Structure 1
Amino acid sequence: MLDLDEYHAALAALDWQVELGADEAILDAPVNRYEAAAEARAAAPEPPAPPQPGPPPMVEQDHVADAEAAARAASSLDGLRAAMAAFEGCELKRGSRNLVFCDGDPGARVMIVGEAPGRNEDLEGKPFVGQAGQLLDRMFGAIGLSRHEGSLYITNVLPWRPPRNRDPSDEEIAMLRPFLHRHIELAAPDILVVMGNTSAMALLNRRGILRMRGTWAEALGRPVLPMTHPAYLLRNVAAKREAWADLLSLKARL
């Protein structure tokens, strides 16, 4: 046992170490921390087994194949309209008021393919009835063609209005292309006029309508004339001169 003097000396030495910052007692023999960690891991419980994989996720329905099957089954324009009205693969349908199918005479020699309905078209259920439609009527009326007199037939690539009139996506174009192709086959026009980038993509698989316009092409075994959309002409009045040249080219072809 320590005597009183030794006790006070030991206590003073301990206080001195605390002042120096010592906060842990050191054992008489060193400790191998690697062995201690290994012993701790060995004593730890086994981790739970990973969950077994469940059944594979459902494969998303192929809406393009559904559209192709529905379009092939339509034997008339009325049947095609009904098939498009029953088609549930396109989300645009849920936000639209009306299916915009066509306007004009299905027996006309010239078929115009527009892009997608706007607000007025969605409300009335007919293509090209807003300001762009009024300009279209004046344009083609200048070369003697009219939807009201049996010489024009009009449709769109998309029958439903995209929200806020945004451009149709490539997926939407691909999904509804089978209906458009069948529409053209059933209407059997002599000449197709594609107006805007969306219709050029759907029928010619190309974009760049400002470069393509006025240059005749071919789709589905028919001559195709690409033209700028009337909505573009409303914003760019100077482009109307080029559109007039395209109309004269169409008139000469007829």
Structure 2
Amino acid sequence: MESGLDIHTARALLEWQIELGVTEAIGDAPVDRYALPDTGPKSKKPTAKPATPVKSESLDAALVAQQAATSAGTLSDLRAAMEAFDLCELKRGARQLVFADGTPCSPVMIIGEAPGRGEDREGKPFVGRAGQLLDRMLAAIDLNRTKNVYITNVLPWRPPQNRDPKPEEIGMMGPFLERHVALAKPKVLVVMGNISCQAVLGKRGITRLRGQWNQAFDLPVLPMFHPAYLLRQPQMKKQAWADLLELKSWLRTDK
């Protein structure tokens, strides 16, 4: 049956889909290829063999990441180790590594989700409108990334089309994040957004988790709304302000 497409048009459509980030083709319903009827002597192709179990590449990558992260004795070593880590596919589509911003050994360490377009371009987390809002939020409780705040993300490379990070990507880069926290030596962690809560706390549901103290990496953890979310939902700034006051109260008590 004729498809109605010449080979050049079909190839152009395929390249366009790949550029958009398509990685596999699926139908509306699953197809069991082994249950299809035998086509008989007309089929020239050899009979497909059942697939054999494949060793988990993401698990292997996480082990390599664990070894690389553990060997890093300083933040500079950790950055170099992450720059050299080639097992995460996100690295191939990103412009550069987005490592951190702010002041190491600050009392507050903020963990965002993943770099966006601006972060990928500038090499720093929380830039653009979301970064400006974050700076205003911090300034309201006497915090500043040049003085007493350190900032990083769950993932150091921008996902294509700013999609959410995949669980295997979060798991793969988890050892680097844990080592990052250990080397930065904060007193408290602020995790912003669902992805950060999933990576640090193993939980999702930021509207339920925000403002509620948790524990991870032997540190107190306060989940908060991501500034990008607040830009889309400005009516939630009241809750964000309450969380900032909670953080300010904790810092005052810790002194």
Q: TM-score scaled by structure 2?
A: 0.76
Give the AA of the match of 1:226.
Answer: P
Q: Displacement of 1:242 after TM fit?
A: 0.2
Name the CA distance, whole Å, in 1 between partners of 2:56 and 2:209: 36
Residue 241 of structure 2 is matched in structure 1 by 244
In structure 2, stretches of 5+ residues that fail to align are 1-45
Q: Is 1:219 aligned with 2:216?
A: yes
**Identical positions, percent:** 62
Name the CA distance, whole Å, in 1 between partners of 2:140 and 2:125: 20
Partner deviation per Cα, 1:170-194 (whole Å, 9 max, x = no partner): 0100000100000000011000000
The 5-angstrom pairing of residues 33-182 of structure 1 reads 59=55, 61=57, 62-148=60-146, 150-182=147-179
Q: Displacement of 1:222 after TM fit?
A: 0.4
Q: Is 1:194 aligned with 2:191?
A: yes
Name the CA distance, whole Å, in 1 between partners of 2:53 and 2:223: 43
In structure 1, the residue corresponding to 2:134 is in which secondary structure? helix
Q: Displacement of 1:59 after TM fit?
A: 4.0
In structure 1, the residue corresponding to 2:78 is in which secondary structure? helix
Name the CA distance, whole Å, in 2 between partners of 1:191 and 1:105: 14
Partner deviation per Cα, 1:169-221 (whole Å, 9 max, x = no partner): 10100000100000000011000000001110111000001100000001011
Q: How many residues align?
A: 201
Assess, with a 3 A threshold, how the Cα gap between structure 1 residues 136 and 57 changes in structure 2: closer, same or farther: same
Name the CA distance, whole Å, in 1 between partners of 2:55 and 2:204: 31
Name the CA distance, whole Å, in 1 between partners of 2:138 and 2:203: 25
Give the AA of the match of 2:64.
Answer: D
Residue 45 of structure 1 is matched in structure 2 by none
Give the AA of the match of 1:194.
Answer: V
In structure 1, the residue corresponding to 2:86 is in which secondary structure? coil
Give the AA of the match of 2:62.
Answer: V
Name the CA distance, whole Å, in 1 between partners of 2:194 and 2:54: 35
Partner deviation per Cα, 1:134-177 (whole Å, 9 max, x = no partner): 000000110000002x1100000000000010000101000001
Residue 10 of structure 2 is matched in structure 1 by none
Name the CA distance, whole Å, in 1 between partners of 2:54 and 2:240: 49
Q: Displacement of 1:106 after TM fit?
A: 0.4
Q: Displacement of 1:130 after TM fit?
A: 1.3
In structure 1, stretches of 5+ residues that fail to align are 1-49
Return structure 1 stretches of 4+ with deviation > 6 angstroms: none
Q: Displacement of 1:107 after TM fit?
A: 1.7
